[in-house]
Structure formats: structure tokens, C-alpha cells
Amino acid sequence: MAKPFVNPFVSGQFLELRVDALVSDGRGLGRHDGVVVLVEDALPGQLVRARVDAVRKSLAEAALVEVLERSPDEQEPPCPHAGRCGGCSWQSLAYGRQLAWKERIVHDALERVGKVACPPMLPILPSPSEWGYRNKMEFSFGDEYKDGPLSLGLHKKGSTYDVLTAADCQLVHRDMNQILSCVLAYFRKWNVSYYKKMQHTGYLRHLLLRRGDTTGEILVNLVTTTQEEHDLTELKEQLLELPLEGKIVGILHILNDSLSDVVKSDETRILYGQDFFYEKLLGLQFKITPFSFFQPNSRGAEVLYETVREYIGDIENKTVFDLFSGTGTIGQVLAPVAKKVIGVEIIEEAVEAAKENALRNGLSNCKFIAGDVFKVLDEIEEKPDVIVLDPPRDGIHPKALPKILEYGVDRIVYISCKMTSLARDLEMMQMAGYRVEKMTAVDQFCETVHVESIVLLSHKSPDSKINVKVEFGEDDDKISLNAIAERAKKYQPKPKITYKMIQEYVEKKYGFKVHTAYIAEVKRSLGLTMYDASNAVEELNQPRKHPPKEKVEAIKDALKYFEVI
């Protein structure tokens, strides 16, 4: 009998190992004495010295101490903060190798978690721009070290407090870096405090910048508390005088007194211009507000949506359900070649933006509904021919996915920004009779571990059919299997009609609720069995309740509808 495995490592132990691969969260994977070790910030091909921080059942997690041998895939990162800033993790890895590893990580997740045998993957699609691609960035105010000078930028890797000034961030357009430097210099000059999360005191919280990649329109959002008052006129004038390639169309002062470190608005004051900007994708124009969801890589989004349009095929006379539709970008890209598009999104602000954008783009065959997909699908009378899914990072809720699959449409296109969530959902979809026809990864997040994936699924159909005639009996007494089936249908017991079904029917048709005791009373008056709701029976042990006439008629109508009477 084999001895049970005992992890040989202890926390604090130092190891030397060669890194062989990357895993989905970006850590390097190597082996020491045959045991897997995951090393933070390590790259494939490196020989590293690492310190064990955690010992798991079958592996160890370690921190990088020193690179003893460089990887042949390494490059000098262009950002001076690389390795310290939490914004990027793969700047030291050549872009071609980033793409190769992302493709492999997606493939492995499909096989291992999604149970997709030999995934039919097409080559990964790169971002049109490796640098300066982000159209949105949330910068934080703080300090680089305790009681240091005011900083504005991104958190240090592994820290929720220390902030590195990112005046030369490589992921955004240089216009954003100029604006950041201007804002930081202004508040340093006046020695304005930043909000301290633990003490809940201070003024400056965030600088949220959004820039249309195709339009050059810029929205500047300064987020502060209400604990101090400052005249921001001078800052506004300095921003408008900056020699930018694009154009500032709005400067907003967003007030946020929330205790949590989240960018939100209790009140928004427009200091200049408007509270939105426009961006264009694939010939369509989209209005974007400070908190609207929009793909952070505009050029990459065009590659993503063109691929969706290619995967979905001919939809000229088809109804498309765009579920988890956000601001309706995918639905509006598909609408010009579809019969109808119905989008469902839980965030009301996004739905209003989707409606406004559809109107602006002259699309009359789009309908956007605010609500939870799980609930809204019960209310939609139309049936889809094709479904597009673009859920949040955590995937589709386990209760919603079976309801989506019940439609049994021939094609589903699933878009995901988190491979492990996609793989988990694919396993259930395959159990429901769908198969992965093809898929590809689309890189929208260069220099990071993240990647978008697009999967085309089709409903399985038999390769061929044969007709077999089955008869029972002999000579003139023969009877076909179909005839037996028809007889069985006639004598099938009727499904049980529950009190809940009656209540739901009445509420939906008449707009009011009826108590189970009222239903029991009506059934008793009609000589029907009524003891299939325990609380109704309990009510009947009490003094009798006589339901109002309109409720009696509504209950009788429900009983007729369900063929009880």
C-alpha cells in the first residue's frame, strides 16, 4: 500500500528551482524534488531563489527572493515602476510570449476544469496596441510611505495603503499622464490632505480619467469627501490650458463620503462642460458617463466584437438575446444584421445608456430590459434563436444557467474575462447537450495576466436517423408503438395543481393576492378536495373566512384555467 504524500516543505524555507510555466493568476510554476511550487513574480525559464510562504496539501506557495538566471523571454520593462506597481505583472515578458502563455492557460483551463477534450482553439488575437491602450484609469491619492509627500497613482504591489505616483504610466495615453501630473502638483502646492481609510479623515480620494481612443474626448473626475471645502477654479483653468492631443469635454467634482474604498458618487458637480463623452466602435457611437461599463481597450473591443459577429453567423431573420448586456454594445453591433435584439442587464443606469445609444445609432430593433436575468427570462414572451452571454467575472449564476439552456437554441456565443468561470459553466453546458465548436482568446489587457475568451457552442444533433416500425400482437390484432403512445397520452394523470400555481395565476391576471384559506374555502364550496396546503388546513380549523366576491370569481377562473372545474 502506497504511503500518503507528505509535503516536505516548511514555511520560511529557501529553495532554488527552475520555473517552467505560468498559471492563471500569473504566478510562475516550478518543481522542487518533484513537488509543485508557485512563485510570485517569476517567469518561465528563470532559475530563481524563493522563500516558502505557505504550505498546501500538495504544493507550496513562495515569494521571489532573487533571479539567479534570466529567462530568454525576458525584456527590459519600459516603466520605471515595473515590479513595484500593482498595475502590471508581465512587463518583463516579451509580448509574443505573453500571448503564447495566455493561449496555453485558456487551453489548459478548458481541458482541466471545463472537461473539453482537445479544445478547438484558434490562435489568440493580439491587442492592436500593446501600450497606451486603456481608455479608463482609476488613480488613488495617498503617500508612497507613511507620512511621505502626497502621491497620486496606483497601489504598490501587495499593499492597500502605499501609492506610487504613476505620472508616466505606460498603459494609458500621455494625455492622462499630463492631467495626473497637473492635479498632483496643484494639491501638493496647497498641501491638501488625502483620505485615510483607517481613520476615515481627509479630503482627496481618487482621480478617475476616461478618454475616447477614437474621439480623443476626455472626462476628468475628481473624487473627494465633503470634510473640507476648496475652490477648484484654478485647477479647472490649469487643466484646460494643458497642451493635450485630445480635448477635455468635462471636469466633474464627485463627492463620496462612503467609508469603503470604492469610487462612487453621493453627489456630482459639473465644474466644466458635460458629464459624459463619446466613443466610437465599428461605426457606432456610444455615450459614456463616469461610471458606465465600457471595454477598457477600445481598439481591442473592436477585435472582440468583430469576432463575436463572425462566430454568431447569419442572424438576418433571427431574434438574439444579449444577456448581461451592459450598455448594449454587443447587441447594437449585432442589431444591423439581426431581426431583433433583446438585451437584459441588472444595472439600470447601463440599460438607460443602452436605450439612448440605440436611439442615437438609429437602431429600432433593439430592446433593453433592466433586471436580473434569472427573473426577467420568465417575463419575456419572445423566444431566442441565438443567445449571446457576456456575464460578470464570476460567470453565470447556477440558477440562471439551466433556465438559459432550456431554450435549446442552436448557437450560443459566450464571452468571458475570467477563464476559470467560463470553464466551470462550460461543463454544465456540455451536460445539457452543447458542444464547443470553436473558441479563441482576445488580448485586451496587455502586460497583465487577464484575457478575454470567446466560445461558440452548438446544440448537439444526431449524425443520422433511421426509422423503425414497431408493432405488437399478431395478424389483425397488431397495434403500432405510436398508437400505444397516443392511448397513453389520453390516460395520463393530470398534473397536480398547487395552491401556489393558483395564487400566481390570480396575481398575474388580476393584480391582487389570495390567501390559501380563501382558495380552500372556494374549493370546499365546490365540493373539491382542499387538503393540499397545510396552512390552508390549519386555517379551516379556525372560524371560517368568507373571501370577497371578486376573489371568489378570480379563484374560480384559475380553477377553470387549470381544468380543475
CA distance 486 to 104: 54
> pLDDT value at position 463?
56
Identity of the residue numbered 394: D
**With 90 as the cut, is the pLDDT of residue 490 above it?**
no
CA distance 35 to 47: 16
DSSP secondary-structure letter at 55? E
Convert 285-334 into a string of H (helix), E (strand) and C (coil): EEEECCCCCCCCEHHHHHHHHHHHHHHHCCCCCCEEEEECCCCCHHHHHH
- For the stretch 52-99, pLDDT in tens is 999 988 899 999 999 999 999 999 998 988 888 888 889 999 999 999
> pLDDT value at position 247?
98
pLDDT band at 124 (very low <50, low <70, confident <90, very high): very high
- For the stretch 444-486, pLDDT in tens is 999 999 999 999 999 876 555 566 665 666 666 667 656 666 6
> pLDDT value at position 327?
87
> pLDDT value at position 487?
63
DSSP secondary-structure letter at 15? E
> pLDDT value at position 540?
43
Q: Classify burial at 556, counting beta carbons within 10 Å of its beta carbon; exposed 0-12, middle 13-18, buried 19 or more.
A: middle
> From residue 22, how far is each of 41, 46, 483 by CA, in Å?
10, 12, 62
pLDDT band at 489 (very low <50, low <70, confident <90, very high): low
> From residue 214, how far is each of 81, 187, 301 by CA, in Å?
28, 31, 12
Q: Which of 85, 88, 169, 417 is catalytic?
A: 417
Ranges 119-123, 211-215, 440-444, 501-505: which has the least confidence: 501-505
Work out whether the CA dihedral 39, 44, 45, 46 comes out positive or negative.
negative
CA distance 204 to 208: 12
* Whether 118 is catalytic: no
> pLDDT value at position 484?
61
Q: Per-residue DSSP letters for 388-445?
A: EE---TT---TTHHHHHHTT--SEEEEEES-HHHHHHHHHHHHHTTEEEEEEEEE--S
pLDDT band at 125 (very low <50, low <70, confident <90, very high): very high
> pLDDT value at position 366?
95
- For the stretch 528-559, pLDDT in tens is 765 544 444 444 445 556 788 888 988 888 88
DSSP secondary-structure letter at 476? G
- For the stretch 233-265, pLDDT in tens is 999 999 999 999 999 999 999 999 988 788 889
pLDDT band at 2 (very low <50, low <70, confident <90, very high): low
**With 70 as the cut, is the pLDDT of residue 325 above it?**
yes
CA distance 49 to 14: 7
Coil, strand, or helix at residue 195?
coil
Cell of residue 259, nine digits? 467609508
- Among residues 270, 286, 301, the alpha carbon closest in space to that of 350 is found at 286
> pLDDT value at position 470?
59
Burial 67-88 (b: 16+ CB within 10 A, else e): beeebebbeebebebbeebbbb
> pLDDT value at position 534?
44
